[in-house]
Structure 1
Amino acid sequence: MSKFLNPFSKNKIKEKQQLEITIDNRERNSLIPSYLKSLGFQIQFSQLPVADYIIKNTAIERKTISDFKSSIVNKRMINQLLELKQYPKHLLILEGINPNIYEGNIHENAFRGFLLSTALGYKTPIIFTLDEEDTAKYLYVLARKQKKPETSIRASKSSLSDKEQLQFILEGFPGIGPRTAKTLLKKYKTIKEIAQAPLKELQELIGKKAILLHKLFNLKF
């Protein structure tokens, strides 16, 4: 007689699902990749232009509390939050939550204010974690929730004008936001002209972003 399998049992056999994550090379020295491997992740390291981790169509920036405060002071955090918004799904992980969170080189109200600006102004959700292991567990839960058919990594409107369609296409390239896309189209007018433009000319127009853009335009499948 075959054994009845209760679908609601905690001991039921689960189908093993492969969880995938792309990690920025700068995160190699943290313990998080090791924790993720132990949780069953298939890891790919890459030089990510935006974020520290990519799961499906979600970009995750990880900061320790001290690094977050330093990034506020040198204004690097503002640029990173703007870059994160290239992904319709994105979040900020602040690691190392503790009772002394408000101590340091930034006034506690300035710290609170920036947290509010991050959540409300930059529309970026914030997750607080205890340590690297806790961060890895959050990434694991996120990946499990993302085990659905892939969707486009960009938000889209139901109908776009011809000019908006050109801008929309350019914004799909890493590091190319609305301002850069408009700058390119103002000079070159068409995607074809941008693709055929010399690298040096592109660099003079949009700086370091031109290197990756030029590489992608000339990349073979």
Structure 2
Amino acid sequence: MKEIFNIFSGKKIKEIPKRKIIVDFREKNSLVASEIVKLGFEVEFQALKVGDYLVNGIAIERKTVSDFRGSMVNRRLLRQLEELQQYQKKILVIEGIYDKEIYPDNENNSEGIHPNAIRGFLLSILLKYNVPIIYTKDSEDTAKFISVLAKKAEKENPLNVSKKNLTKSERMQFILEGFPGIGPKIARKLLEKFKTIKNIMNASEEEITEVIGKKAEVFKIVSEEF
């Protein structure tokens, strides 16, 4: 916590740092990001491999109702749900539920989706992928939900735990999770395979690919110039 000098009182006061929420670059122009800032949070844009928002280790995938239907038809959401599995805690937000019904009026709609197909897909998300679904009214509602989640998650699992409270294994895992797209599960896989962070950094891309697939590309940055 940084101290600043108050020129009026002549005393040093503690400046409370803003809570930080990681937002994917693709959400940069969304109203959700600006609403989060209005709520007093710091937003850091990153190229997230998984999810649209990262809050204290919780991955959030956001879909508008139209996005949800479209990604259901082209099966893109299935891939995203698979990728979310690397996070112990993950959430799917479906936004605009009051603005546009999630179920089509009838089975002869322009998208060709039967309402029961959507119901079945929602059940699969909950039961097969174990991803909770949150329905929000609009971008402002989504931002408020994320802000409440950030406050709640910080109380239950604060990220500013001092290093002396972490085991050696937890510190090693924490370092790896600093790489984009590397969640707890992938970090553990790498450490179980290579044993040390040094071994991971010295491993070839092919060796890492054997363990975590395409996500190995993120480690290219280790040998790139600034």
CA-atom RMSD in angstroms: 3.5
Q: Work out whether 1:214 is the aligned partner of 2:223.
A: no
Q: Work out whether 1:100 is the aligned partner of 2:101.
A: yes
When normalised by structure 1's length, the TM-score is: 0.69
Distance (Å, rounded) in 2 between the aligned partners of 1:57 and 1:175: 11
* 1:136 maps to which of 143, 162, 170: 143
Supply the AA of the counterpart residue of 1:195: M
Rate the CA distance shift 1:175–1:110 in 2: closer, same or farther, 3 A.
Answer: farther
Q: Work out whether 1:51 is the aligned partner of 2:51.
A: yes
Q: Deviations over 1:108-147 (max 9, x none)?
A: 1111111111111111000001111110111111112123
Q: Deviations over 1:167-212 (max 9, x none)?
A: x89x95635867xx59x95xxx76666533444x459857642220
Distance (Å, rounded) in 2 between the aligned partners of 1:89 and 1:219: 32
Distance (Å, rounded) in 2 between the aligned partners of 1:147 and 1:204: 33
Aligned-partner SS, 2:97 = coil
Supply the AA of the counterpart residue of 2:219: L
Q: How does 1:1-221 map to 2 (within 5 A)?
A: 18-98=18-98, 100-103=101-104, 104-148=111-155, 149-150=158-159, 174=181, 181=189, 195-199=201-205, 201=206, 208-216=214-222, 218=223
Q: How many Å apart are 1:83 and its aligned residue?
A: 1.3
Equivalenced residue count is 186
Between 81-90 and 128-137, report the one with greater CA deviation. Answer: 81-90
Aligned-partner SS, 1:63 = strand
Aligned-partner SS, 1:146 = helix
Distance (Å, rounded) in 2 between the aligned partners of 1:90 and 1:190: 27
Q: Is the 8 A contact 1:195 1:214 kept in 2?
A: no
Gap runs ≥5 in structure 2 = 1-14, 105-110, 162-172
Identity of aligned residues (%): 45
Q: Is the 8 A contact 1:60 1:93 kept in 2?
A: yes
